[in-house]
Chains A and B, each alone.
Chain A
Amino acid sequence: MGPKILIVDDDASVLFLHNLMVRESGMSESINAFNNVDDALIFLSDSLVSKREHLVFLDINMPVKNGWDFLDALEGIDPGKNVFVVMVTSSVNHSDREKANTYGHVIDFLEKPLNLKSCTYIIQHKELGNLFTGRDK
């Protein structure tokens, strides 16, 4: 069934695109899209995050609560760093990258929109270890 994928973005078109790409890439069947941070956080806190099975594609710029707010809250929900986060943004500032490095959950940055190529890259991401391959072993 694969890991549980969360896509957080306020733009519906983006959610559609990213959902499509993740599904089409065969990354996982379990895809959950959220157009706001709070819903995503509720989902995670309801889940059992003691296992390594969650990967979040997170947008930074969102109204009400942005990506950083999400990361801050995640520290409380998952201090054991079992949730992996990939930041997905339309532009990657150096300052954003610096800031993201202070959050232990963030494993990488990707440019919007996700495409099949970037999804394949994530599947093979070394930080994710056997999240995708060795789940049955």
Chain B
Amino acid sequence: MGSAQILNAQSDNVRISDKQYVSKQWDNTRGLPVNTVFKVMKDKTGYLWAATEEGLVRFDGVNFRVYNQENIPGLVSTMFYDLKRSSDGGIWAANANAIVHAKNNRIQIYDARDLVEGTWITSISEIHNGEVWAGTNNGDLLVLKNGDIHLLSDWQKVKSSAIMTIETISEAVLIGTQNGLFKFTQSNGVFEEMTDYSGLEVRAVEETPDGNLWIGTRTHGLFYQMEEDIIHINEANGLANNRINALQLTEDGRLWVGLGFGGVQMIANNEIISLRENEFGLNEVNDVYITDSGIVWLSVTGHGILQMIPADIKILRESDGLSNDITLAIYQDEHGVIWSGTASAGMNRIDDGEITHITPDYGLQNGVVLGIYGVDDFIYLGTGSGLHRYNLETDSIDRIFTTDDGLASNIVQAIYQDSHGRVWITSRSGGIHKLHNHREIERLDVPESFQSAEFINIFEDNQENIWFSTTSTGILKLDGDDNLIGYSIHHGPSSEMVLSMYEDPEGNIWAGSNEGLLVLDENGEFRLFNRRNGLQFNGIFRMIEDDYGYLWASGNFGIQRMRVKDLLALKHDETGEMKIPVRLFDTSDGMANREANGGIFPAGWKMQNGEIWFPTMEGIAMINPAALIELEKPVEVYIESLNFGENEFTAIDDITIPPGTYNLEIHYGSFDFKKPHTINYFFRISALSDEWQSTGNRNTAYLTTLSPGNYTFEVKAEQFGVESEIASINFYVDPFFYQTNWFRILILFGLFIAGYLVKAYHSKIIAGEELRKQVDFQTKELKERNRELKKVLSELEKQNQILKKVAWIQSHELRGPLSKILGLLDVVKNYEHFKEVGKGRDELIIDIDKTAVELDGIIRKINSEIEQIDPPETK
């Protein structure tokens, strides 16, 4: 804010230098538990925390997580009223009856119920020595020190009424109460009242870098406390409301004021500025918080959180003074005056922030301005009713050229003065003309195929060729020798529309078609690059190179930016597979409407100050490329937790997962509060694959059953072709007993032994080739015979029974008579040697005979038994 003016929507002055914001609102329909938020604050990790009466809320740009008594053991009340950064990078939260410390996934509760009976904690701050002070609604000051909470006794003597805010400033602690402001000086440990504010309810305090104080009160507005003086600002000075809830200083010295009624106002250079964002109808703003990247977070009663992202693309609109929101051709003349056509309300002249309208009143016959170009003291306008000549000296349209003057058509598309001073006018119906001396129009003969062409764009390259492109039949080139050469951009039925052209640093000509970007190669043929190669959209309306090595290209989906050197690499890539990083700018960057306008000339202009302006359906998109260089910074990816069942772990835990766990989830994200929807995530798991697996914009990876072992889960994020660093989490999957190492070793040992035996056996076989052959043969044979043998075996068992029987007969029945015969024969033989035998020889022989017959009978019996046996050999 260089100028001392108070801007508002009705102002005729341009808001070019003003801050513009892209707003997003978060309420209970979009993840917040409740619509009233008291305070938001980011921790060092990157999470945004919010204090509400329905819990402490954590937000990463996409996902909300609510901490309340249901999921935090020891928490009794769901009400949170204040937040402050803790010195360890976390957050101190004032719960109604506890002091709460939050850091990443860990919430610590310091119960203060004994000390806050009948009241509640309203405010909190960590002071210089690491103590945490908490103020209550009955005026007590609690101190959290070494894990214990007690009342601050020194304060009891000073204590008057409810504590509204505690602010730790450079050398002191300020305590704003319902009834005055108190200062605790760290060096002497003394509390003293700042008597200028006696009786005032002090709700907010901010310290400026030079040690002055901004003090916001509930009923008396704002005070600026300097060493000697106090400046009082209230409704009388232009403050929207005397009730101040919140104050926030920015790095560039602006003070944001959150009001009890009337939203927010900004004070810069002692001027009060109202913001467009008040249109959101936010009445009571409880807190204003601004992050390092400049994003403003408003905590609002009844409206949740309003996020205001500083717009990367600023928009100049009808409400800022343009004659119409639909803007067409844009041109800056050599005096720095910017001329911009509209779709129905003539042309705007923007001169050092002043906007004037060149309307039909000035002699403009048609409100639609398609082409604008300055030549000498004239600005030429291409319209639907001829070429208009605007005289800068008389400030009026002093001549209109039509078909009567030699134009091929009254619909004039483009005007351009080349490096030789020639002025080119193109129109529909194949019209390419030269304008001589601001008076005569000379029409060029164009080749047959271009006779009905609509020449919408004129481009001059460094070889002094002039390229005229069409909406239907490709490009016509006029070379230095006045030869006209036609180029077709496609081989086939594709569109031949070329709305824009560009020459790269290596002298190659690029054409922007509705199917992508084409480069003209050495063979006179165009090669196409499109979304496959990283473009955010294909239809290109206008290409402009900035001073920082980027090419900006507009289209129906916004404006995309790519590095020129990437474009060159793409051109030289022979695989056709190459992808380049391209960043998209659209409504999430400040555009009121993402649709840029094309088919006009010039459909965008690089201003003398390096800014690039593109016409859009809602105002002019103004880009300051210098301010957007740092956007290349990759997003930061983090792993929130690893979950299975009810278990939750973070990366710092020692994670062991029980065997058989099949529903593992890993939650990750990035702290992108601007464009989280444009982030794509990729993960991989060491030991499984080196390939990255895409989860798109999703923040969770689901892992099914993993074998036992150590794993590292890695995740990275990609935004506009720029990759983040890798975040990782390690975990160990426990084995079942049969998956353990000792069990494996046992099995291995067993296998080793088995292997050894096989080896030993094998060695024996190898020892003799014959033996090996035999074994081979036998193995085969054995298989066949095994089946046979089983059958034979049962047979044999049966036969064995018979044989046993036979053996028994042999030994008992057969031998019995035989031995008897032998005995009797012995008696007969030695008859004379016996004293008295008792039987005659004849009798003995009859006995022998009888026994022999008996023996014969037994032998017959054995024969009949043996006949039952079928020896296997006979089968």
A residues whose Cβ falls under 8 Å from a Cβ of B = 11, 13-14, 16-17, 19-20, 23-24, 61, 90-91, 93, 111-115
Contacts and interface: CB of A to CB of B under 8 A. Distances in A.
Interface in B819-852: 819-820, 822-824, 826-827, 834-839, 847, 850-851
B820 A112 contact: yes
Interface in B842-871: 847, 850-851
Given A13-B847, A91-B812, A93-B811, A112 B834 contact: no
B360 interface: no
Contacts of A20: 827, 834, 837-838
Contacts of B823: 14, 17, 112-115
The winner among A19, A113, A114 for most chain B CB atoms within 10 A is A113
Given A13-B847, A20-B838, A91-B811, A115 B816 contact: no
B819 A113 contact: yes
6 contacts: A16-B838, A20-B838, A90-B812, A93-B811, A112-B819, A115-B823
Contact of B812 (A19, A23, A61, A115): A61
Given A17-B823, A24-B834, A112-B823, 20 more contacts: A13-B820, A14-B823, A16-B847, A17-B820, A17-B827, A19-B838, A20-B827, A20-B834, A20-B837, A20-B838, A24-B835, A61-B812, A90-B815, A91-B812, A93-B811, A111-B819, A112-B816, A113-B819, A113-B820, A115-B823
Contacts of A14: 820, 823
B846 to A, nearest CB: 10
Contact of B824 (A13, A24, A90, A111): A13
Interface in B710-729: none
The 7 closest A-B pairs by CB, nearest first: A113-B823, A91-B811, A90-B816, A90-B815, A17-B823, A112-B819, A13-B847
B824 A17 contact: yes
Nearest to A11: B820
Contacts of B838: 16, 19-20
Contacts of B824: 13, 17
Contacts of B850: 13
Contacts of A90: 811-812, 815-816, 819
Interface of B: 811-812, 815-816, 819-820, 822-824, 826-827, 834-839, 847, 850-851
A96 B425 CA distance: 136
Given A20-B837, A90-B816, A91-B812, A13 B826 contact: no
A2 to B, nearest CB: 16
Nearest to A17: B823
A111 B811 CA distance: 12
A16 B819 contact: no
Contacts of B820: 11, 13-14, 17, 112-113
A11 B850 CA distance: 12
Contacts of A13: 820, 824, 847, 850-851
Nearest to A90: B816
Contacts of A112: 816, 819-820, 823
Contacts of A16: 838-839, 847
B344 to A, nearest CB: 127
A20 B835 CA distance: 9
A19 B811 CA distance: 24
Nearest to B839: A16
A125 to B, nearest CB: 21
Contacts of B827: 17, 20
B510 to A, nearest CB: 111
B817 to A, nearest CB: 8
Q: Which of B816, B826, B835 has the most CB of A within 10 A?
A: B816
A113 B822 contact: yes
A90 B811 CA distance: 7
B839 to A, nearest CB: 7
A119 to B, nearest CB: 12
A114 B822 CA distance: 11
A19 B730 CA distance: 102
Of B823, B826, B838, B851, the most chain A CB neighbours within 10 A belong to B823
B532 to A, nearest CB: 95
Nearest to B847: A13
A57 to B, nearest CB: 13
Contacts of A23: 836
Contacts of B811: 90-91, 93
A16 B824 CA distance: 9
A90 B819 CA distance: 7
A17 B826 CA distance: 10
A91 B822 contact: no
Contacts of B815: 90-91
Contacts of A17: 820, 823-824, 827
A31 to B, nearest CB: 11
Nearest to A14: B820
Contacts of A111: 819
Contacts of B826: 115
Nearest to B812: A91
B861 to A, nearest CB: 16
Contacts of A115: 823, 826
B278 to A, nearest CB: 118
Contacts of B837: 20
A93 B834 CA distance: 32
B130 to A, nearest CB: 97
A13 B848 CA distance: 9
Contacts of A19: 838
A44 to B, nearest CB: 25
A71 to B, nearest CB: 18
Contacts of A24: 834-835
Nearest to A111: B819
B819 to A, nearest CB: 5
A16 B820 CA distance: 11
A115 B834 CA distance: 12
B152 to A, nearest CB: 104
A93 B810 CA distance: 12
Contacts of B847: 13, 16
A13 B823 CA distance: 10
Contacts of A93: 811
A11 to B, nearest CB: 7
A4 to B, nearest CB: 20
A110 to B, nearest CB: 11
Nearest to A61: B812
Contacts of B816: 11, 61, 90-91, 112
A16 B822 CA distance: 14
A115 B847 CA distance: 17
Contacts of A61: 812, 816
Contacts of B834: 20, 24
A7 to B, nearest CB: 13
Nearest to A113: B823
Contacts of B812: 61, 90-91
B500 to A, nearest CB: 115
Contacts of A114: 823
Nearest to B810: A91
A66 to B, nearest CB: 12
A35 to B, nearest CB: 14
Nearest to A18: B823
Contacts of B851: 13
B836 to A, nearest CB: 8
B445 to A, nearest CB: 133
Nearest to B834: A24
Nearest to B823: A113
Contacts of B835: 24
Nearest to A24: B834
A17 B838 CA distance: 10
A51 to B, nearest CB: 29
A30 to B, nearest CB: 16
A23 to B, nearest CB: 8
A9 B755 CA distance: 66
Nearest to B833: A24
Nearest to A21: B823
A114 B836 CA distance: 17
